[in-house]
Amino acid sequence: MRNLSISFIVLLLLAACASLSPEQCRNADWRQIGYADGVNGLPGSRIQEHASACAKAGTKPDMEAYLSGRMEGLVSYCQPENGFEVGRRGTADNAGDCPPHIRGAFLQNYRQGREINALEGQINSLRGTMDNERREMRRREDRIEDIRKELRRPNVSPERRNALLVEMERLIDRKQESGARMLGLQREMDIAQERLGRRLREMGR
């Protein structure tokens, strides 16, 4: 990667998001463009997007150079370790064009990565739910404190006092319910994290 030219690094970054600008079409190194698409695991249909973009600039892709570069890029993309990383990110495998001799190992590691992605997603979801519970608990605590301050005022009418006491009792009940949910969520979180750690160890990661 260190030996890549700056222009090629730019192509690598662009390959994953947008097709080519008219200027890039006119100055295209189609072997490098193919390599960039391949190393990013982009599908073969990507060349159609390039052809459509470059038609507006009056140029056509060099298919032979593009396909040769793409195959080189796919060899890098389809390595087993990258399969795990692609799966862990939760992105599509796009393994259909991988060379047959490395496709199986890539997919095996991809499936492991997807399993880890699912476990990490579960943990993140639990963490988000716990954060929401904490925010609600703090909101109720703040409201309870406001009620207590108002109850200490000497000019609070009996009707208002009764209404505040009813509201405070309801908030305390809901706060206790949140506390119970937090304990349950924490148990689920501990189980999920233990499972994640165990699977990573079993995978040798």
Interval 101-123: pLDDT, tens: 999 999 999 999 999 999 999 99
Residue 124 lies in a domain: yes
Cα angle vertex 130, ends 136, 120, to 5°?
155
Task: In whole angstroms, give the CA distance from residue 122 to residue 159.
Answer: 47
| DSSP state for residue 205 in the 8-state scheme | -
Strands (E) in the chain, as ranges, are none
Q: What is the pLDDT of residue 196?
A: 97
Residue 10 pLDDT class (50, 70, 90 cuts): very low
Residues 5 and 68 in one domain: yes
- Asked whether the CA dihedral 26, 32, 37, 43 is positive or negative, the reply is positive
pLDDT in the model for residue 147: 97
Q: How far apart are CA 95 and CA 83, in angstroms?
A: 9
Same domain, 71 and 19: yes
What are the backbone angles phi and psi of residue 136, rounded to the nearest 5°?
-65, -40
Q: Domain end: 77, 106, 140, which one?
A: 77
Q: What is the pLDDT of residue 17?
A: 44
Residue 16 banded pLDDT, cuts 50, 70, 90: very low
The rounded percent of the chain whose pLDDT value lies above 70 is 91
Confidence of residue 24 (pLDDT cuts 50, 70, 90): confident
The answer to the question of residue 16 being in a domain is: yes
The band of 203, judged by pLDDT with boundaries at 50, 70 and 90, is very high
Chosen domain end from 51, 77, 103: 77
pLDDT reported for residue 11? 46
Instruction: Quote the domain boundaries for residue 51.
Output: 1-77
pLDDT tens digits, 163-197: 999 999 999 999 999 999 999 999 999 999 999 99
Calculate the average pLDDT of the chain. 89
Count Cβ atoms below 10 Å from residue 106 Cβ, excluding itself. Answer: 25
Q: Are 7 and 42 in contact (CB under 8 A)?
A: no
Domain identity same for 127 and 196: yes
Could you tell me which residues come within 8 angstroms of residue 205 by beta carbon, excluding any fewer than 6 positions away? 84
Domain count, the chain: 2
Query: Tens digits of per-residue pLDDT, 43-64?
Result: 888 999 999 989 888 999 999 9
| Phi, then psi, of 28 in degrees rounded to 5 | -70, 135
Q: What is the pTM of this model?
A: 0.75
Residue 121 located in a structural domain: yes
